[in-house]
Amino acid sequence: MLYDINIDDARVGYRTDGDGSFSRVLFVEKSRKLNPRGAAFSSYSPAYVSSNEQLQSIMQILKPAGKNCLAIAGSGDAPLFLSAYGAQHVDTFDISYNARVVMDVKTYMLKNNFCFYDYVHVLRDIQTAPDVLNCLSRDVVVRAVTHDTLEYLHGMRKCRIFMHTSNGEIACFPDSTEFVAMKQNVSGRYNFIWSDLFDLSGRITDKKYDIIYLSNVLQYVNATSDIVAVLNNMRTHLNANGVIVVDSLLQSLALARHAKYKLVEQEICNWANLIYDKSAMTMFLKIR
Ligand SMILES: C[S@@+](CC[C@H](N)C(=O)[O-])C[C@H]1O[C@@H](n2cnc3c(N)ncnc32)[C@H](O)[C@@H]1O
């Protein structure tokens, strides 16, 4: 099967007891084994159906028009906003295959001219569905994904594919202009690289980008030396004047003048500046 999806492994990541029911707490314990460097995510962990980031403000700072971007797939919102704001090309990656599923569902709806109400309705429906192949939006999901993904979803029946942000609401909507721009600028499914951050550099070989969007990913990397290693690896994929959207964790560490932040800053200060933007509530790494 394509992408080495291993349904047995996937089930191990979710199983909590004999009946295969889902428990987040135990799941997190299991996923630690699957992804020893990060706390909460694994190859099959549920994907958020919406971002909780200040994407409008972040885009105004990034100005992605005409730029080449690499973005965490996550909820699919970061790649979609980059496209809406005119990015020339967006590659995506994520450790979890389920991020690809939610991203493909969104791009399908945009390319098939769903109205905003239906778009939101489907997202609300799938984010809580215990079985996405047996929910009201089943037909949308089935049409949106590739054959391999559909086979995967069948294998994952009864496992959670999606999850919602803490208050259960869809946190980040495009406004009407952004929604139209998404429809115009998204050309179809994004190229998805199913990869842990630590293997990503090897997977994109000599590709270079103007923007690398890692926001809310590094916070799941525990060791400072690992954060520095990821940033140094990503440096080799940045064009001159490139930017990495770093994180909210680094930002709160910076505000607290935490030793971990100082260490990261020290390690990269010969090639980059870390800049915190209050309106976007996000930290950006800019090449010197
Ligand atoms: C909190 S979500 C935020 C994603 C994105 N910023 C958004 O708002 O949609 C974190 C994402 O990072 C991914 N992730 C976590 N650890 C990772 C790792 N080590 N390598 C690649 N992706 C990872 C998760 O699967 C998840 O999709």
Cβ(41) to ligand 1 under 6 A? yes
Place of tokens 């909210």: 248
Looking at ligand 1, which atom is closest to the CA of residue 197? 20
**pLDDT tens by residue, 147-189:** 888 988 888 887 788 887 655 565 678 999 999 999 999 999 9
2-16, 177-191, 205-219, 239-253: segment of lowest average pLDDT: 2-16
pTM of the model: 0.89
Cβ(43) to ligand 1 under 6 A? no
Place of tokens 């706390």: 39
- Is residue 243 within 8 Å of residue 61, measured between CB atoms? no
| DSSP at 219 | G
Q: Tell me which of 94, 106, 284 to substitute to probe ligand 1's pocket, judged by most ligand atoms within 8 Å of the beta carbon.
A: 94
Q: Which residues, at least 6 apart from 222, have a Cβ–Cβ distance to it below 8 Å?
A: 37, 38, 39
Q: Which fold has domain 2-287?
A: Rossmann fold (3.40.50)
DSSP lists the bridge partners of residue 273 as 286
Residue 93 Cα to ligand 1 midpoint, Å, equals 9
Q: Which residues, at least 6 apart from 259, have a Cβ–Cβ distance to it below 8 Å?
A: none
Looking at ligand 1, which atom is closest to the CA of residue 213? 6
**Better-scored residue on pLDDT, 121 or 4:** 121
Q: State the pLDDT at residue 8.
A: 60
C-alpha span between 152 and 159 (Å, rounded): 11
Reading the block at residue 158, the tokens are: 């009864």
Query: Residue 25 — very low, low, confident or very high, per pLDDT cuts 50/70/90?
Result: very low
Instruction: Report the percentage of the chain scoring pLDDT > 70.
Output: 80
Cβ(247) to ligand 1 under 6 A? no
**Better-scored residue on pLDDT, 128 or 51:** 51
Cβ(181) to ligand 1 under 6 A? no
